[in-house]
Amino acid sequence: MNFEELNLAPAIVKAVLEQGYETPTAIQAQAIPAVLEGHDLLGGAQTGTGKTAAFVLPMLHKLSAGEAPKNKFGGVGIRALVLTPTRELAAQVEESVQTYGKYLELSSTVVFGGVGMNPQISRVKKGVDILVATPGRLLDLLQQGVLDLGQVQILVLDEADRMLDMGFIHDVKKVLAVVPKDKQSLLFSATFSDEIRDLAATLLKNPLSIQVTPRNTTVQRITQVIHPVGRGKKKALLAHIIQEH
């Protein structure tokens, strides 16, 4: 399998190959065709698996092939919304959008808390095709009445488990309440607690499940062992274990 076989627009494949990627990763090979076909997706994948490109590439393809609606302020309607738990991840995802979309005419921006809101207000009013955001700041912008999410066609919850761990569930639910019901939704999570499954059940319609790491387990190369030992013997025990391996 190579990137040319995935039916992505040539402008996207060109940008990907420029990154030096030779073959799609497991999650990309599975998720890209599924998203292009319009399926909702439940993706079990950790950082490092290539999950960002797995949703960004088909998202760019679909948006570049579609019409651009207007938002209620007369600006560009937001057609894809990506929610991430942290500002660092939000910035990384938006950078990937820029990198893989460099030969397309799509616009994107990122909004997160901890920085001034005014520049973000003017950008979201003017509108972008793709918005990457952390839930808290997104909600602030919504409550200020400067953000129109009525044109969203693709919604991505990235690292949903971390988002819930950080206490964003209520913010996420408020955002879900204002995006159109009829949309494609993708949920990525490294672990699957009951809370994540509940969220997936309310958001996703007949989702395809793609799992690239075993459920709720650590990386297989790591073996976990417990040796109860007094503080005084800790060093000797560690030395012994290292010697044995």
State the Cα–Cα distance between residues 240 and 245, nearest whole angstrom.
9
Provide the minimum distance between the beta carbon of 50 and ligand AMP in the complex, in angstroms, as a whole number.
3
Which one of 9, 21, 117, 208 is in contact with ligand AMP (CB under 6 A)? 21
Tokens representing 192?
Answer: 């699957």
Q: Does 24 bind ligand AMP (CB under 6 A)?
A: yes
Sheet holding 80-83, edge to edge: 108-111, 130-133, 80-83, 154-157, 184-189, 41-44, 208-211
Q: Does 84 bind ligand AMP (CB under 6 A)?
A: no
Provide the minimum distance between the beta carbon of 32 and ligand AMP in the complex, in angstroms, as a whole number.
10
Tokens representing 52?
Answer: 């960002």
Pick out residues in 36-65 that bind ligand AMP (CB under 6 A). Answer: 47-53
Q: Does 30 bind ligand AMP (CB under 6 A)?
A: no
Q: Does 73 bind ligand AMP (CB under 6 A)?
A: no
| Binding residues for ligand AMP, total number by CB under 6 A | 11
Of residues 212, 165, 215, 169, the one with CA closest to residue 192? 215
Nearer to ligand AMP, 28 or 120 (CB): 28
Contact range with ligand AMP by CB under 6 A, out of 21-29, 66-74, 76-84, 209-217 = 21-29
Residues 6+ apart with CB under 8 A from 158: 51, 52, 55, 82, 83, 84, 85, 89, 93, 188
Nearer to ligand AMP, 48 or 114 (CB): 48
Nearer to ligand AMP, 53 or 63 (CB): 53
Work out the burial of residue 166: count CB atoms within 10 Å of its CB; fewer than 13 is exposed, 13-18 middle, 19 or more buried: middle
- Amino acid in the structure at residue 162: R
Q: Does 211 bind ligand AMP (CB under 6 A)?
A: no
Nearer to ligand AMP, 60 or 149 (CB): 60
Q: Does 85 bind ligand AMP (CB under 6 A)?
A: no
Asked if residue 96 lies in contact with residue 53, where contact means CB atoms within 8 angstroms, the answer is yes
Nearer to ligand AMP, 52 or 153 (CB): 52
Nearer to ligand AMP, 168 or 188 (CB): 188
Provide the minimum distance between the beta carbon of 243 and ligand AMP in the complex, in angstroms, as a whole number.
34
Q: Does 207 bind ligand AMP (CB under 6 A)?
A: no
In 3-state terms the chain splits into helix, strand, coil percentages (rounded to 5) of 45, 15, 40
Pick out residues in 115-174 that bind ligand AMP (CB under 6 A). Answer: none
Q: Does 219 bind ligand AMP (CB under 6 A)?
A: no
Phi, psi angles (nearest 5°) of residue 204: -95, 140
Of residues 189, 190, 57, the one with CA closest to residue 130? 57
Q: Which residues bind ligand AMP (CB under 6 A)?
A: 21, 24-25, 28, 47-53
